Structure 1
């Protein structure tokens, strides 16, 4: 006689616990940063203040798209998250949410973002949102992340797309200022992420993820951070003709400030001194936020430097 043994059942979760777990899947702190870059892009595209409903609708669609990409990323990277101290509390590692449910959740969010953006903004914004999800999951997470130290350089392109989606939501096209804003976030991403990876180098090494600090000497990493910081600051100035004098002033001032921080990190690293890369990581968020606020205010006031026509 064969005895059938039931598979262990996951204990029932309280609604509040499940809600918290699903919110954790979408990584809200990451999404906050993406939304910060979307609003200035919409204001610049409008050359003023766009319809509040359009802004809200775009932010909702963008949140759904980013949440979809992050949830699917959690599904693919569950094995990595399990061995990294920084990510051991994520819902799939703690089995608060099953892999199947997380997968369905991510797919539904992605499909919902497409339908929502198409209905409330335009088809171009909806297509760009889905393309971003697919790129983040299939190009960055499945291919680049575990295979190359340049993973976040090229994979970080997904994090640059909210500015393009926001612009397209207003204009139903993609103009050169949107591409310049894309480049600003593109060059900002490596210094931001590599400083985090310097702090959690052992975590990434344990998980077998070849982040640059894992495969390169500290001085090489800090040199790359400095290089991308120079590229980022130079790139921010390209937006001045489409923005205004207020943005241009803040781009110069905050750029000099951030460059000085990157130089300090590189100099200390070369001397073999103990460094605090997380300081630059946190201040990189401040830098991008201040730059975006300056751009948003400048766009709302509509004070162009060269009067580029929209």
Structure 2
């Protein structure tokens, strides 16, 4: 009976939606805001790999292919997590939950995007970039979504590796290899992901608990969470300094300045939790977005200007 009702709901909602509504629903499946953040790290990686401004055509191909890969991973995540999304206030308006996109259609859409991404990157960039993008999609769907997310509080730590792949894709698109600066950028994003996501999970702890997802704030005390956020925040800022040998004073000054702001806000969150005060973890969440964007923008500007590197 439940299946019949859901099917009817899907058909009814789809039938009532206009073309714009349908296209908007499919776009929402890809989680455009997440894609935007991933692409913000791709372009600077390409600039740093080129040590200048890479060919515009290559940048566009890499962005299109990368956006398709990320959109594929997000759409398939929506398919796998539709039961979780249905009970969380933050996600209950997503297309599958609200029957704006049939589940089977979303699955085909996600797979098609992945195939197209591979083709675009292989023909427009190189095979390595295509393989890395596809590997990120497979890791995010099969390792993070289907294995880690519902089983361990360390889900976002290891699952976040998929979100680090765009820097490798961007570097590989320019050079055909994966150099050590690309690996350092991978580490920066890897270490940045836990404080970014745990601060969000602190805000929506009740959502994750209701859905049975063991995000760290669900299974640990607020103080334990804030300590780990602070540790990972320090590790993130320290790791950004490993890029000094391939950058100039422009990047170094920016990395130190914005890194200090990031650490101050992380420390304020921890201090508030430790003292038992009401805290706003979303302040760190939003700042973490700005921090990563500004850091990678500094990398791009530094590479484009072409000043002598410090290493």
Write the deviation string for residues 147-179 of structure 1: whole angstroms up to 9, x where unpaired: 000000000000000000000000000000000
1:63 paired residue among 67, 70, 76: 67
Q: TM-score, normalised by structure 2?
A: 0.96
* 2:22 corresponds to: 18
Aligned pairs for 1:165-176 within 5 A: 165-176=169-180
Deviation at 1:305, TM superposition (A): 2.9
Q: Does 1:30 align with 2:30?
A: no
Counterpart contact for 1:241–1:304, Cα < 8 Å:
no
* 2:92 corresponds to: 88
Aligned pairs for 1:203-214 within 5 A: 203-214=207-218
Counterpart contact for 2:249–2:310, Cα < 8 Å:
no
Aligned residues: 303
* 2:54 corresponds to: 50
Q: Does 1:269 align with 2:273?
A: yes
Structure number with higher helix proportion: 2
Write the deviation string for residues 202-260 of structure 1: whole angstroms up to 9, x where unpaired: 00000000000000000000000000001001000001111221101111111111111
Separation of aligned partners in 1, 2:141 and 2:99: 21
RMSD of Structure 2 on Structure 1 (CA): 1.3
Q: Does 1:127 align with 2:131?
A: yes
Separation of aligned partners in 2, 1:92 and 1:115: 27
Counterpart contact for 1:39–1:55, Cα < 8 Å:
yes
Q: Hey, which bits of structure 1, 4+ residues long, moved more than 4 A?
A: none
Which structure 2 residue ranges, 5 or more long, are not aligned? none
Aligned pairs for 1:240-251 within 5 A: 240-251=244-255
Q: Does 1:141 align with 2:145?
A: yes
Q: TM-score, normalised by structure 1?
A: 0.96
Separation of aligned partners in 2, 1:26 and 1:116: 18
Counterpart contact for 2:45–2:171, Cα < 8 Å:
yes
2:205 paired residue among 201, 208, 213: 201
Which structure 1 residue ranges, 5 or more long, are not aligned? none
